[in-house]
A and B are shown apart, each in its own frame.
Chain A
Amino acid sequence: MSTITDPPQGAFRLSMLLNDTRYRSYTFQFIALILLIAAFAFLGSNLISNLTAAGLNISYQFLGTPAGYDINQTLIDYSSQSTNARAAFVGILNTLLVAFLACVTATIFGVIAGVLRLSNNWLVSKLMSFYVEIFRNIPVLIWIIIIFTIMIAVMPGPRAFRGDEPSASMILNAVAFTNRGVYIPAPIWGPGSMVVVATFILSIVGVIGYRRYATKLLYDTGKLLPMGWPSLAILIVPTLLMFLIMGRPIGLDVPELKGFNFAGGIKVGGPLIALWFALSIYTGAFIAENVRAGIQAISKGQTEAAGALGLRQGRIMNLVVLPQALRVIIPPLISQYLNITKNSSLAIAVGYADVTATLGGITLNQTGRAIECILLLMLFYLTISLSISAIMNVYNNSVKLKER
């Protein structure tokens, strides 16, 4: 036997590099390394000679120079005298803002549509599959432009709100949809408002504590405390009391028609609304499919077993089906969130000042620093993507079925 398993003794021959499995992988990796180095050297030398020919260099000094352009929607202080780095930062915050908003609403749309698509109601389930098919099969850029067009072409101008018999009116006298954007009331934080906010945060902690206590009591003694209305009471009553005691410190700055435009309140620009709504309704269709697949992945036997134990419909859903379905739903859901973040770069098509539009758009065009701008842009998106993937891996490991 040993004659067979012993490696053949003999001098090393050159053909062994290709034919002997012990050496072959080294040969291939060596060739790959040479090719890789050659490719990088080729691209690098091209880059250097092209840059010298164009009289350019790689430098990030432009980040410190004044940007020289205005941004219509900013979350932090910004003027055209601010630096390019600050413009990029404004863009990053805007990207994160629209991504966050769209993630929240897309989840809501997706869960509702996914659950309703499985309902026994024929009309509703057909309507929901229509929604899913329509939105999944039409490019998101077209949806963004359609909704943006609705925002600028269908919404009334501020002029329509004036006069004795205006053709448009504000909703609840507080929200105005105009072709320049949506005006919503802004909160005014008066003195003492921090106390109210602190009370509210404490009540949230209190609600969580109460629910924990009720669950523990249920498991220990079998005594069932009511959950719904006490939670609601703990949440609202103390804050409301404190609000009245402190003399109503939080007010609302309602937008008003002044001159040719609305003043006061917060203006949410049309591009933001268009991007937000289009992304959430488009990604909602994908999330609906994930939710449906997740719920359908739970075998009917689970529901029936829970029913046989005497659980009610709502408890079957909460205690048996959802915990198992979430394990299937959450990984694709997070990758949809990632898609939303990446698709928010389409903001450039409607003029929303996200990081692609500021750093990769105006700054790039004004300074001509194409390579630097695009590298920074990619770095930003890579950071976001890799951190979301890292979170997802941690989550996946924590919910992984503990098998043999």
Chain B
Amino acid sequence: MSDTSANSVAFVRTEQVPPSPPPFQTSGPVKWAKDNLFSTPFYSVLTIVAAYFIYLILAGILPWLANGVWGTTSLAECREVLDGVSGGCFSVLSERWNQLIFGFTYPSELYWRPALAFLIMFAAAAPVLFFKLPRKLLIITALFPFVAYYLIWGGTIFTPILALLGVVVGYFVYRRLVAGSFAAGFFGGVAAAFVVWIIGGMLIPENANETAMLQAVPSRDLGGFMLNMMLGVVCVSLSIPLGIALALGRQSNMPLIKWICVIFIEFIRGVPLITLLFVANVMLAYFFPPGTSTDLFLRVVIMITMFSAAYIAEVIRGGLAALPRGQYEAADSLGLDYPQAMRLIILPQALKISIPGIVNIAVGLFKDTTLVSVISMFDLLGMIRGPILASTEWNGVYWELLGFAALLFFVVCYGISQYSQWLERQLATDHR
């Protein structure tokens, strides 16, 4: 009893034994593979099938990418260099790069202008997309449409300046009158802008186009991916306000306005975009005053804007319907009138709910801009199917060109959808 443990116990460990690593099968990559790849026989089979499938795809594409040829001037030359080896003929991309991006009739010495407009677009879009940036940057956004118009189309500088002037005058009239009532402010502002435009239109000298600083480029010379980008950006920005107006109109308790909006939305949503583009191409000209010729670009913008506005209106209607009734009643009980209630209480919340839907529509719209190639506008796909694949040098280079187009669209659309997910997380103020 009184003996010390050193005498009674044969062995005492004096130091801590380091823990041995877990068995090989229950840790590390083996365990991970067991849990995630081979957990059941069925999953094992699936894994093997999937792995084989991935192998087949990679085995097809990787050599084709790795052996790709850049710098030849025609498909025949490219095949000579390849000498029977499977490989992509990417020289078509470098050789026809300008055509793919700008179309084949845009004057080549003026490429810097749309490129500059493209760069300014990022500065203009940044304050809209990222709320934390200084609000002063919105001035760039406000000026961007006029600057971009002038850069891309050129011509007399009076046109964008006059347009800007009309908007500024309209804005100040709106600010003056909005204190009385929103309707008076809104319609007064629009009327003032129109007055400025009409008066200004008379004042612009006749020969302004010839003495222009930037050479004028007609709309039919636009093409390539630039055309897709322009249609996408213009139509999305125009269709969001129109869509909000349609959604509010559909919720309105004035029967006439409600039914106008319902019929418009259901009609547009019931027909494919391509029939609307046919309307733009062959039918819309009949509805313009005789003697005026509006260019195809404008007509297509009108139709695509109407198309996406109808879809955006439905998304926003969903957002409006998702708001609890109490929000509307709270606004009423505060004594706010309809425009105030909408601007201050309802729309900020409804638009927040609708953001994922609106972004989906925007992505779909951007993808749908490729449809203009069907009515013989030479957008990216139209350029590929028309002038490039029909040329003697590059007849038969399908995969490089179509893959390039697919890649461009994928990068843009995937980027937009990732942004929308980020925005949703930023705006999530509810507790979950």
Binding site for B on A (CB under 8 A): 18-19, 25, 28-29, 32-33, 36, 43, 46-47, 49-51, 53, 116, 119-124, 127, 133-134, 136-142, 145-146, 149, 153, 342-343, 345-346, 348-349, 356, 360, 364, 370-371, 374, 377-378, 381-382, 384-386
Q: Does B381 contact A (CB under 8 A)?
A: yes
Residue positions of B touching A, CB distance < 8 A: 35-37, 39, 43, 46-47, 50-51, 53-54, 181, 183-184, 253-257, 260, 266-267, 269-275, 278-279, 282-283, 285-290, 363, 367-368, 370-371, 373-374, 381, 385, 396, 398-399, 402, 405-406, 409-410, 413-414, 417
Q: Chain B residues with Cβ under 8 A from A53's Cβ?
A: 290
**Distance between A28 CB and nearest chain B CB, rounded to angstroms:** 6
A121, B267: Cβ atoms closer than 8 Å: no
**A-B pairs with lowest CB-CB distance, top 6:** A385-B270, A137-B413, A122-B36, A139-B367, A342-B272, A370-B282
Q: How far is the CA of A25 from the CA of B183 in the complex (A)?
A: 12
Q: Chain B nearest CB: distance from A55 CB in Å?
A: 13
Complex contacts, A136 vs chain B, CB 8 Å: 413
**Beta-carbon contact of A49 and B290 below 8 Å:** yes
- Contact indicator B271/A381 (Cβ below 8 Å): yes
Residues A374 and B43 in contact in the complex (CB < 8 Å), given A121-B37, A145-B402: no
Query: Does A381 lie within 8 Å of B370, measured CB to CB?
Result: no
List of B residues within 8 angstroms of A51 by Cβ: 286
B-side contacts of A25, CB under 8 Å = 253-254
Given the known A-B contacts A18-B181, A32-B260, A50-B286, are A378 and B271 also in contact in the complex, defined by CB atoms under 8 Å?
yes
Q: 12 A-B residue contacts at CB 8 Å?
A: A18-B183, A32-B256, A32-B260, A121-B36, A123-B51, A134-B410, A138-B413, A153-B396, A371-B286, A377-B271, A382-B267, A382-B270
Neighbour of A345 across the interface among B37, B270, B275, B282, CB < 8 A: B275
Beta-carbon contact of A374 and B37 below 8 Å: no
> CA A75 – CA B57 in complex, angstroms?
37
Taken together as a complex, chains A and B put the C-alpha atoms of A370 and B43 apart, in Å, by: 57
Q: Which residue of B lies closest to A382 (CB)?
A: B270
Known: A28-B183, A120-B39. 12 other contacts (CB 8 A): A28-B254, A36-B260, A119-B43, A121-B50, A123-B37, A123-B54, A137-B367, A137-B409, A138-B413, A349-B374, A374-B275, A378-B267
Within the complex, the shortest CB–CB distance from B389 to chain A, in Å, comes to 10
A124 touches B46 (CB 8 A): yes
Q: How far is the CB of A233 from chain B (nearest CB, A)?
A: 26
Distance in angstroms from A389 CB to nearest chain B CB is 8
- Bound-complex Cα distance A43 to B283 (A): 12
Minimal beta-carbon separation of B23 from chain A (angstroms): 22
In the complex the two chains form, is B287's CB within 8 Å of A43's CB? yes
Pairwise interchain contact B47-A47, C-beta atoms closer than 8 A: no
Asked whether, in the complex, the Cβ of A381 is within 8 Å of the Cβ of B270, the reply is: yes
Given A137-B363, A138-B409, A386-B266; A378-B275 close (CB under 8 Å): yes
Q: Is the pair A142, B272 in contact by a Cβ cutoff of 8 Å?
A: no
Q: Tell me the complex Cα distance, A142–B39, Å.
A: 38
Alpha-carbon gap, A124 to B269, bound state (A) = 36
Bound-state CA distance A4–B254 (Å) is 27
Interface centre among B35, B39, B266, B374 (most CB of A within 10 A): B374
Min distance, Cβ B62 to any Cβ of chain A, angstroms: 16
User: Looking across the interface, which residue of chain A has its beta carbon closest to that of B289?
Assistant: A46
| Contact between B414 and A127, CB atoms less than 8 A apart | no
**A120 contacts B43, CB within 8 Å?**
yes
Quick check: A346 and B274 within 8 Å, CB to CB? Answer: yes
Question: Given that A120-B36, A139-B367 are known contacts, is A385 also in contact with B271, CB under 8 Å in the complex?
Answer: yes
Selected from A43, A133, A346, the residue in CB contact (under 8 A) with B371 is: A346
Instruction: Please report whether the interface of chain B is mostly helix, strand, loop or mixed according to DSSP.
Output: helix
Q: Determine if B275 and A124 form an interchain contact, defined as CB atoms under 8 angstroms apart.
A: no
- A-side contacts of B373, CB under 8 Å: 141, 349
CB-CB nearest in chain B for A125: B36
- Nearest CB in chain B to that of A335: its residue: B269
Contacts of B385 in A (CB 8 A): 145
Contact B287 A137 (CB under 8 A): no
Q: Which residues of A have CB within 8 Å of B47? A: 121, 123-124
Q: Please tell me if the beta carbons of A374 and B282 are within 8 angstroms of each other in the complex.
A: yes
Neighbour of A138 across the interface among B39, B279, B410, CB < 8 A:
B410
Asked whether, in the complex, the Cβ of A343 is within 8 Å of the Cβ of B272, the reply is yes
Residue of A nearest to B33 (CB): A122
Known contacts A29-B257, A127-B50, A138-B367; is A47 also within 8 Å of B275 by CB?
Answer: no
Chain B residue numbers with a CB within 8 Å of A348 are 274, 374
* Bound Cα distance from A25 to B35, whole angstroms: 65
CB distance from B413 to the nearest CB of A (A): 4
Q: Tell whether, in the assembled complex, residue A46 and residue B286 are in contact, meaning their CB atoms are under 8 Å apart.
A: yes
Residues of B within 8 A of A386 (CB): 266, 270
CB of B256 within 8 A of CB of A33, answer: yes
Q: Which A residues touch B288, using CB under 8 A? A: 46, 50
Asked if residues B410 and A360 are in contact (CB atoms below 8 Å), the reply is: no
Question: How near does chain B come to A362, taking the closest CB pair, in angstroms?
Answer: 13
Q: Which residues of B contact A139 (CB under 8 A)?
A: 367-368, 370, 381, 409
Residue contact B46 to A121, C-beta cutoff 8 Å: yes
Residues of chain B within 8 A of A33, CB atoms compared: 256
Please give, as numbers and ranges, the residues of chain A lying within 8 Å of B274 by CB-CB distance.
Answer: 345-346, 348, 356
B371 with A153: CB separation less than 8 A:
no
Residue on A with the closest CB to B288?
Answer: A46
Q: Contacts of B183 on A, CB cut-off 8 Å?
A: 18, 28
CB atoms of B50 and A142 under 8 A apart: no
A229 CB → nearest B CB, Å: 21
Query: What is the distance, in angstroms, from B141's C-beta to the closest C-beta of chain A?
Result: 26
The answer to whether B50 and A29 touch across the interface, beta carbons within 8 angstroms, is no
Residues in A with CB closer than 8 Å to B50 are 121, 123-124, 127
- Is the beta-carbon distance between A142 and B275 smaller than 8 angstroms? no
Asked if A356 and B272 make an inter-chain contact with CB atoms under 8 angstroms apart, the answer reads: yes
Residue of B nearest to A134 (CB): B410
Would you give the shortest CB distance from B385 to chain A, in whole angstroms?
A: 7
Report the minimum CB–CB distance from B29 to chain A (whole Å).
12
How distant is B101 from chain A, measured CB to nearest CB, in Å?
17
Contact of A371 among B53, B283, B289, B409 (CB under 8 A): B283
- Shortest Cβ distance from A36 into B: residue: B260
A28:B402 contact, CB within 8 angstroms: no
Contact B271 A360 (CB under 8 A): no
Q: In the assembled complex, which residues on chain B have CB atoms less than 8 Å from the CB atom of A36?
A: 260
A50 / chain B contacts, CB cutoff of 8 Å: 285-288, 290
* A10 CB, min distance to chain B CBs, angstroms: 21
Chain A residue numbers with a CB within 8 Å of B279 are 374
User: Which of chain A's residues has its CB closest to B412's CB?
Assistant: A137
Residue in A closest to B51 when the chains form the complex, CB atoms: A123
Min C-beta distance of A152 to chain B, whole Å? 10
- Measured CB to CB, the nearest residue on chain B to A385 is B270
What is the CA–CA distance of A25 and B184 in the complex, to the nearest angstrom? 15
